Structure 1
Amino acid sequence: MVAGDPGTDTGARKASGGPGPRQAWSGLPWPVRSAVLWSACLVVIVAGLYLLGKIAVLLAPLAIALAATLFLTALLDPVLLLLRRLRLPAALAALLTVLLLLGILVGVGALVWNLTASQFDQLSQQLTQGLERSRDFVTSSLPVTDAQLDDLVDQARQAAGSGSVDPIAGARTATEVLGSALLALVLLFFLLKDGRSMWHWVLSRMTGPNRQVVAESGRAGWQTLGAYSRGTMLIAAIDAIGIGVALVVLRVPLALPLALITFLGGFVPIIGATVAGAVAVLVALAANGPTTALLTLAAVVAVQQIEGNLLEPLVMKRQVRLHPAVILVAVTAGTLIAGIAGAFVSVPITAVLWRVIDTIQSHRTTPAGPTPAPAG
């Protein structure tokens, strides 16, 4: 036989002691092959997401500014469209939209500060008293000693990274926050002014069926982000008003600061509302005793149940809503990767990615036909 003859290769493989890799792979049962392929794909996806998360952490001020800009742009897009319908130039409409946002933020911030600045110290004292009462209840009704509870608290503080305050690190953090806010405002103006023309430029560089897929998936993702931002703000405001009214009726002190905490917590689904409700119950326990605390807990649960079962299906579109398990996983992953900022942006990112992937998948499963021109 000559070199390269199949018989020679087969004989060489037999002499080497076993079949080749292709024959060994074909000999595996199909569940094993499927499991190997899916596991490899999952490893690649997780590694890519982990790498992106690490890059976002390294570029934290820029990542936070971009996330805030996209969120605010989707939130304010209807205002911009209304001004454009009034025949205002794009630059003037974008500038007025940004000024409107600044006016609302400054006005609400000044009002809340004037009404609650003197109460934040009292809020801290009430929380401390509530924790002390909770501690007494735990040690008196459960087989837990004071020393064991102190050890648990110390471990929680160490896990949270609490320690001595570093003034240099604090100044650096304040500078990064201020720089991110200014960058977000500048980017917000340019996205409101030129965002659509930028998107059209991206689409003009594509040809064939890919252009239609990118156009529809981008449109679906943008609509999802806009619906999520506006729906989340509306639901958070309704939660804050409902719980604030309940606190006023029950004569719980610091109702306005607690309503503000509830509003901010509404932007972190499930976990934020739970933490805000726990703070309200602790303050009620410290100020008015266990009866008022139980009534406050009942009011918080009632408002959250009405919000979750009635308001959210009406306010949020069906394609925006995610399963609670997915939300918990997304919030936890975002918190582990980027802290509080990651908790805020994890759910909208997950919702947008899901809509984009779903749109692309629907195109792949739809029979091919004539490709229409993408809408503007």
Structure 2
Amino acid sequence: MAPSDEVTVRKLVWAGAAVLVWAAVAYLVWRAMGVLAPVLVPVAVAVLIAAALRPAVRGLVRRRWPRVLAAALMVVGPLTVLGVLLVITVDALVRGGGELAEALRDGVGTVRDWLVRGPLGLSEPQVGGAVDNLVAFVGDQGERIVGGATATAAAVGGFLAGLVLAVFVLFFLLYEGERIWTWLLAPLSASVRTRFDQAGREAFSSLGAYSRATVAVAVVDAVVIGVGLAIIGVPMVIPLASLVFLAAFVPYVGAFVAGFVAVLVGLVSGGPVTALLVLGLSVLVQTLEGEVLQPFLLGRMVRLHPLLVVVSIAVGVVLAGIVGALFAVPVVLVARAVLRQLPGTSNTQTG
């Protein structure tokens, strides 16, 4: 074998070994993240919220507010708004649940009559058997839900623990985020520290722009869908508008899911005509979000192509479900900021 061939083989072997090592490291990191998810997810949520609220804290500090009070206000304020929204939503669900259940029974009766007396001409025993099977299936699911009450309680406990951790981390990020960031960079050499500092600040700025733009899109979507549902006469307007608001934090995909739920409620409560009106309203809201709000707000603030957003969300869903969908775009923003600081790349902002 010629010396040049030996060098080539040796390079290929080392390249293959490097790929295997990096794959093993990535696998171990992924497994560790899965184990530490109850800690990492609240911390990631706190970072996103801190990035969005940092300009407000700076504004209060410039107006001679003590930083500790400014940070505390920015923590308590959003939590109060979120708590009020949840209370209103739960109260509306409790009060409107009976109305929706009655509408569901009426809707099932209407469909049953149409199947028997309509063009299909099905027999009463056939339709009755299908309805009985559906009722039995729903009953089985209800028993499973009751049987899983202990797991549900544990999940609620984990959520509350994560919420406390997120609030704690959020306060300290707003209060002394600069000091924490400087402490994290201290062990690095000067040249590496500079690149990491630039990447971190760019990523944090992008996350803040993304969070604020997403909140703005969510508010517009919720207001438009709420007003439209009220005009159409669909029940449970507040819970549905709240669902649209929360779903908007998953770009593109969330609006579709929330719209589907609204159409289903419209079908049960008012029939096909109401469902079609709600469908038209949902399409209008999704068009407003996709053609106007997303390009002008998210597009200009974070400069990500819609295709990249959709693909990253799809990958996030496959890897980590709803949590992956929520953090897919922020992860892409952080990765972009880090890649721009690699040697041989440009760190200038491009459109």
TM-score bucket of the superposed structures, by smaller chain: 0.7 to 0.9
Residue 65 of structure 1: aligned partner: 42
Taking a change above 3 Å as real, the CA distance of residues 236 and 40 of structure 1, as seen in their structure-2 partners, is farther
Q: Which residue of 2 aligns with 1:178?
A: 160
CA distance in 2, matches of 1:251, 1:46: 55
The correspondence for 1:360, drawn from 313, 334, 341, is: 341
Shift of 1:56: 2.4
User: Kindly tell me: are residues 77 and 132 of structure 1, through their superposed partners in 2, closer, same or farther at Cα, counting changes over 3 Å?
Assistant: farther
The answer to whether the 8 A contact 1:57-1:337 is kept is no
Q: Following TM superposition, by how much is the alpha carbon of 1:127 offset from its aligned partner in structure 2, in angstroms?
A: 7.0
Residue number in structure 1 paired with 2:59:
82
Contact preservation (8 Å) 2:75, 2:171: yes
Question: Is the CA contact 1:268–1:344 (under 8 Å) kept in the aligned structure 2?
Answer: yes
1:40–1:202 Cα change, 3 Å: closer
Change (3 A) 1:77 1:341: same
1:228 aligns with 2:210: yes
1:292-331 to structure 2, matched below 5 A, reads 292-318=274-300, 320-331=302-313
Question: What residue is the counterpart of 1:217 in the other structure?
Answer: 199
Q: What is the distance in 2 between the residues matched to 1:133 and 1:25?
A: 78
Q: Deviations over 1:109-132 (max 9, x none)?
A: 333344443124545676788799
1:91 paired with 2:68, answer yes
CA distance in 1, matches of 2:293, 2:17: 39
2:333 is paired with a residue whose SS is: helix
Aligned equivalents of 2:259, 2:7: Cα separation in 1 = 55
Aligned equivalent of 2:251, options 269, 280, 294? 269
RMSD of aligned C-alpha atoms?
3.9
Contact 2:200 2:337 in 1 (8 A): no
Judge which range, 337-346 or 116-125, deviates more.
116-125
Once residues 312 and 209 of structure 1 are traced to their aligned partners in structure 2, the CA distance between those partners, rounded to angstroms, is 37
- Answer whether contact 1:321 1:351 (CA < 8 A) is retained: no
In the alignment, structure 1 residue 54 sits paired with structure 2 residue 36: no
Partner Cα distance (2:306, 2:299) in 1: 16
Distance 1:57 1:26, change over 3 A: closer
* Residue 123 of structure 2: aligned partner: none
Q: Secondary structure at the match of 1:214?
A: helix
Compared CA separation, residues 130 and 218, structure 1 to 2 (3 A): farther
Counterpart residue identity of residue 38, structure 2: P
Deviation for aligned residue 1:217: 0.9
Are residues 193 and 259 of structure 1, via their aligned partners in 2, closer, same or farther at CA, if it must alter by over 3 Å? same
Take 1:80 and 1:89, find their aligned partners in 2: how far apart are those partners? 10
Separation in 2, partners of 1:323, 1:164? 44
Structure 1 spans left out of the alignment, 5+ residues: 1-18, 28-32, 368-376
Unaligned runs of at least 5 residues, structure 2? 121-125
- Contact (CA 8 Å) 2:214, 2:249: kept in 1 or not? yes
Letter paired with 2:158: E
Cα displacement (A) at 1:63 = 1.8
Q: Please report the TM-score for the alignment, with normalisation by the length of structure 1.
A: 0.73
What is the CA-CA distance between 1:319 and the residue it aligns to? 6.0
User: What SS is found at the alignment partner of 2:341?
Assistant: helix
Structure 2 Cα separation of the partners of residues 134 and 235 of structure 1: 37
Contact 1:54 1:337 in 2 (8 A): no
- Matches of 1:316 and 1:39, distance apart in 2: 40
Where 2:234 maps in the other structure, the secondary structure is: coil
Equivalent residue of 2:304, what SS? coil
Q: Deviations over 1:284-311 (max 9, x none)?
A: 1222222222222122112211211111
Structure 1 residues 199 and 163: CA distance shift in structure 2, 3 A? same
Partner of 1:167: 149
* Structure 1 position 66, deviation (Å): 0.9
Pick aligned residue for 1:332 from 310, 314, 320 = 314
Q: Equivalents in 1 of 2:181, 2:266: separation in Å? A: 51
Partner of 1:344: 326
Larger radius of gyration: 1
Aligned length: 327
Q: Distance in 1 between matches of 2:212 and 2:184?
A: 26
Contact 2:209–2:301 (Cα < 8 Å) also in 1: no
21 and 269 in structure 1: CA distance in 2 versus 1, 3 angstrom threshold: farther
1:319, 1:355 within 8 Å by CA — same for their partners in 2? Answer: no
Q: 226, 237, 241: which one pairs with 2:219?
A: 237
Structure 2 partner of 1:12: none
Please state how far the C-alpha of 1:260 moved relative to its aligned partner.
1.0
Paired residues of 1:127 and 1:279 also in contact (CA < 8 A): no
What amino acid is the match of 2:247?
A: G
The alignment status of 1:284 with 2:266, answered yes or no, reads yes
CA drift of 1:178 comes to 0.9
Q: 1:48-81 deviations in whole A, cap 9, x for unaligned? A: 5554333222223212211221122112212211
State the one-letter code of the partner of 1:74: A
Partner SS for 2:302: coil
Q: Superposition pairs for residues 97-176 of structure 1, below 5 Å?
A: 97-120=74-97, 122-123=99-100, 165-176=147-158
* % same residue: 35
CA distance in 2, matches of 1:127, 1:61: 38
Name the SS for the 2:147 alignment partner.
coil
SS at 1:236 equivalent: helix
1:360 alignment partner, SS class: coil
What is the aligned partner in structure 1 of residue 241 from structure 2? 259
Q: CA deviation at 1:225?
A: 0.6
Match of 2:178 in 1: 196
1:252 counterpart letter in structure 2: V
**SS of equivalent to 2:235:** coil
Contact 1:126–1:283, Cα closer than 8 Å, also in 2: no
